[in-house]
Structure 1
Amino acid sequence: MSTAASAAFVKLADYLVRCRRLAASLPMQEDAVDYWSGVGFTLDRHRLVAPMDEVAEILSVPAYTRVPGVLPWMKGVANVRGRLMTIMDLSRFLGRASELQERRRRLLVLDQNDLYTGVIVDEVQGMQHFPLDAYRPVPTAGDEDLGPYLRGGYLRDGELWSVFSLTRLAQDPRFMQAARTG
């Protein structure tokens, strides 16, 4: 072995010893945790979360025009950036009234196929991230009115966040039939 090759080998061995010594102080590698994300919101003190792919955007409740001959939970229609959007009050649809003033409430926008509608909720709590293993498959809100729209929930810090499906809501024939009959 030549002197140059021998010096290179000694240098590499020195690097190995120093790397192992310095690596001892590094944190242990942790397993990556997969998360499910959604838009958190409250409705009548229930903590709910809507899947990210069902919420096109979040808005303040825009000025809207009332429509005659509709049920009380259909608030009206609004022009949002040149598109006509129906405005629905989720609390009223479920047969209750919110304690919050409308200007303090928020709108979750559902934009799927030909349906462009805003659903008024009490408060939006931003993006929520839950470890996948925190999922509970049973409806969790303890409220029969919400039950048909729930897809289980996630447990975090002892609190249950029920997954509320806006798609299931939009598929409900009662939600799609806002006209007063009779």
Structure 2
Amino acid sequence: MTEMSKAVKTENTQKDKYLTFLLGEETYAIEIKYVTEIIGIQPITQVPELPSYIKGIINLRGRIIPVMDVRLRFKKPPVEYNDRTCIIVIDIDRMTIGLIVDNVSEVLTISEENVVPPPEINKSVENGYIKAIGKAGSDVRLILDCEKLINEDDM
């Protein structure tokens, strides 16, 4: 099998697959292709003068990775981390970052025809984090745009 066909095969097995997680009562999803691993909460080294939602850095097997509290990024009230709190490690444009979430749920398959653009409720509100809405049975999942979670200033 050539490198190209391996890449295509990997791409196809990840198509329509989303990792779902909770922030409070709301369920969000990110495309599985961005996820490299899920780890428990770890000691975080704070770094001065970062936005409040960037909690600091962790040492993951010798790699230094910034971690973002997604709850704070969405301007939700902070909560104590507990044994359900996870860090979803994602890769975006050759950058690795950890996303702190309340609880990881499951990997869901949401077919393309069940993914719709988010409603345009208020044009003046710039909510670039929501890429789409995924319909899974009678439930909906807010699909995040991983690339917009991290803005230029954060990088």
TM > 0.5 fold call = yes
TM-score category (smaller protein):
0.7 to 0.9
Tell me: CA distance 1:55–1:80, structure 2 relative to 1, closer, same or farther (3 Å): same
Q: What residue number does 2:19 align with? A: 39
Q: What residue number does 2:73 align with? A: 93
Q: What residue number does 1:74 align with? A: 54
Matched residue count: 139
Q: What residue number does 1:60 align with? A: 40
Tell me: CA distance 1:68–1:80, structure 2 relative to 1, closer, same or farther (3 Å): same
Identity %: 20
Q: What residue number does 1:124 align with? A: 104
**TM-score with structure 1 setting the length:** 0.66
Of the structure 1 ranges 109-118 and 124-133, higher mean CA displacement relative to structure 2 is found in 109-118
Q: For the pair shown, which has the larger CA radius of gyration, 1 or 2?
A: 1
Paired with 1:148 and 1:128, the residues of 2 have a C-alpha distance of 23
Q: Secondary structure at the match of 1:147?
A: coil
What amino acid is the match of 1:75? Answer: K
Q: Secondary structure at the match of 1:148?
A: coil
Shift of 1:139: 4.7
Q: Gaps (5+ residues) in structure 2?
A: 1-14
Residue pair 2:128, 2:145 contacting (<8 A) in 1 also: no
**Match among 148, 152, 156 for residue 132 of structure 2:** 152
Residue pair 1:139, 1:151 contacting (<8 A) in 2 also: no
Q: Secondary structure at the match of 1:92?
A: helix
Q: Gaps (5+ residues) in structure 1?
A: 1-34, 178-182
Q: What residue number does 1:3 align with? A: none
Structure richer in helix, relative to its length: 1
Paired with 2:99 and 2:119, the residues of 1 have a C-alpha distance of 21
Residue pair 1:40, 1:126 contacting (<8 A) in 2 also: yes
Residue pair 1:139, 1:150 contacting (<8 A) in 2 also: no
What amino acid is the match of 2:43? Answer: A
Paired with 2:77 and 2:83, the residues of 1 have a C-alpha distance of 15
Shift of 1:148: 0.7
Paired with 2:106 and 2:31, the residues of 1 have a C-alpha distance of 12
Tell me: CA distance 1:47–1:80, structure 2 relative to 1, closer, same or farther (3 Å): same
Q: What residue number does 2:152 align with? A: 173
Shift of 1:107: 1.0
Q: Secondary structure at the match of 2:131?
A: strand
Q: What residue number does 1:105 align with? A: 85
Q: Secondary structure at the match of 2:128?
A: helix
Shift of 1:48: 1.1
Of the structure 1 ranges 92-101 and 122-131, higher mean CA displacement relative to structure 2 is found in 92-101
Shift of 1:111: 2.1
Paired with 2:110 and 2:48, the residues of 1 have a C-alpha distance of 42
Paired with 1:56 and 1:145, the residues of 2 have a C-alpha distance of 31
